[in-house]
Chains A and B, each alone.
Chain A
Amino acid sequence: MPIGYILTVGTFTGIFMILTVSLNVLTGYAKQVSLGHAAFFAIGAYASAILTVKFGLSFWAALPCVVGITTLVGVFLGLPSLRVSHDFLVLSTIGLNFIVGSVFRYFSFFGGSMGIVGIPMPEFFGHPLGTAGFFGLTLLFVILTILTSFYFSRTWGRLAMEAFGEDEVAAKAMGINVAKFKIYAFAISSAYAGIAGALWAHYVGSVFPDNFGFDRSIDILAMLVLGGMGTIRGAVFGALVLQMLPEGLRVIQNYRMLVSGGILALMILFQPMGLLGRGSFLVKGFERLRGRLVSHEAEDMP
């Protein structure tokens, strides 16, 4: 297998890991089910494309702006979640895919259906990154995403999100400012997705509205649900499996939507906690195994 191919697969897998970890904050912790995550991904990609191609910024100068823009967009698009119930939120996030797609398609500022092309590779000390360099860059962002997200998972914010995700009335009765933390969840999630979008745009070199459709949102949610909602390891693992699997099994590529949709439906029916989520059969099995090993050791002691 050529090394370039492996690096490319690795880069896309990394980008999707950032997306699933980002969705985990919103859907795993705060239980705000989003079928529109590709919209945040798209906004990050387009923001970076426009800032670099039309305004001549470098990738590095554009990146903080991209994070700022996607954070604000997250806040703004999170506002409806304060008013609607869970079921309607799912519907409105589906709508988000189409609204964002249409805006990019019908406004010439965003390149219309011709998209934006000629997005430059990020430069490093004056040299454009190659395939290997970009893979390294992606890996760096994956690690940063996991570390910051892990830090967040140990804060009160995550606990507050899990509380209202479970029971909004109880959370309010305990003095949790539910509205604030819901908006935080959207903002954090959107910011991460924006970074993933920027990486994607600069690696591929062009963005088109069709790159970020509803099917992408399904892919991302399927990855998270497969791995295990509410855990970072699950998010990372789900992206790894669903992004690598089609590479090994070419035939799957033609049925991507079917595979993602099918996995989503089956997991929700039979293993809603995912493969590596809390209390999944794999995790339970592992804990039992470890328990047995530990107790064996204990028995062996004189």
Chain B
Amino acid sequence: MLEVEGLVVGYGKIAALMGVDLEVGEGELVAIIGANGAGKSTILAAIAGLRPVHGGAIRFRGRRIEGLPSWSRVRLGLALVPEGGRVFPDLSVEKNLRLGAFTVREPKQHLELVFSLFPVLQERRRQRVGTLSGGERQMLAIGRALMADPQLLLVDEVSMGLMPKLVPEVLETFRRLRDERGMSVLLAEQNAREALAVVDRGYVLKNGQVALHGSAEELRADPQVKQAYLGA
């Protein structure tokens, strides 16, 4: 589904990613874990087309996409839940969701899917988003990305701002999306413990490079990962 090869991205003269290789298979749940500043958000931004790529290749469903503008990547089936959600506070829940379906002709069925995943959004559909709780906003951000009917969902730090109790619940929705709709999901997460509990595979990112990768099980058992990211 997605293959990233030798990805190099920089901010000015500072290189944030120095040759990252990464893969997400059809219907696979994959996590990128790493400390603050490791480059997780940068990878997702580059895949979504929000950051220019300085080197390497990004292939999505067999197609080179690293040169395409962000809007055409959304049309190909990629959607990003940006860090912090970035929902529109002055608009209603429903308007936010409809904006998410900007590239879709028939948003109705997607709206129903989102409401079935997050019933609280349906209850508050006319409410101004600025008055939602942090957790509800995070759900809205995920819902808004789903409105674009993606085949690959890129999620940047969902656990941020969520009540610890809610984190597994939200992560569980990604599993549901995979099981019920065959969607692939690539998560960037600082919360390695929760992420590795639901995904199939993971990449450990360190200073802009992949330090380690493997199945979730392998990573959970790895002494280095345990010490650095699982706090054990």
Q: Which residues of A contact B (CB under 8 A)?
A: 156, 159-160, 162-163, 166-167, 169-170, 172-179, 278
A174 to chain B, nearest CB (A): 5
- For B75, the chain A residues whose CB sits under 8 A away are 175
Q: What's the A-B contact tally at a CB cutoff of 8 Å?
A: 62
B80 within 8 A of A: yes
What is the bound-complex CA distance between A179 and B74, given in angstroms? 15
Establish whether residues B71 and A169, one from each chain, have CB atoms under 8 Å apart when the complex forms: no
Establish whether residues B88 and A175, one from each chain, have CB atoms under 8 Å apart when the complex forms: no
22 chain-A/chain-B pairs, Cβ below 8 angstroms: A159-B99, A159-B102, A160-B102, A163-B88, A169-B50, A169-B82, A170-B86, A170-B87, A170-B88, A172-B70, A173-B80, A173-B82, A173-B145, A174-B103, A174-B145, A175-B71, A175-B73, A175-B74, A175-B79, A177-B69, A177-B71, A179-B69
What is the bound-complex CA distance between A165 and B54, given in angstroms? 28
Chain A residue nearest to B44 (CB atoms) is: A173
Q: Which residues of B contact A (CB under 8 A)?
A: 48-50, 69-71, 73-75, 79-82, 86-88, 90-91, 95, 98-100, 102-103, 144-145, 148
Establish whether residues A166 and B88, one from each chain, have CB atoms under 8 Å apart when the complex forms: yes
A252 to chain B, nearest CB (A): 34
- For B103, the chain A residues whose CB sits under 8 A away are 174-175
Establish whether residues B49 and A172, one from each chain, have CB atoms under 8 Å apart when the complex forms: yes
Interface centre among A159, A169, A176 (most CB of B within 10 A): A169
- For B49, the chain A residues whose CB sits under 8 A away are 172
What is the bound-complex CA distance between A172 and B73, given in angstroms? 10
- For B87, the chain A residues whose CB sits under 8 A away are 170
Interface centre among A159, A166, A172, A174 (most CB of B within 10 A): A174
Interface centre among A160, A172, A175, A179 (most CB of B within 10 A): A175
What is the bound-complex CA distance between A163 and B88, given in angstroms? 8
- For B86, the chain A residues whose CB sits under 8 A away are 167, 169-170, 173
- For B74, the chain A residues whose CB sits under 8 A away are 173-175
What is the bound-complex CA distance between A159 and B102, given in angstroms? 9
- Not counting A173-B81, A179-B69, a sample of 19 additional A-B residue pairs whose C-beta atoms are within 8 angstroms of each other reads A159-B95, A159-B98, A159-B102, A162-B91, A163-B99, A169-B50, A170-B86, A172-B48, A172-B71, A173-B70, A173-B74, A173-B80, A173-B82, A173-B86, A174-B145, A175-B79, A175-B148, A176-B71, A177-B69
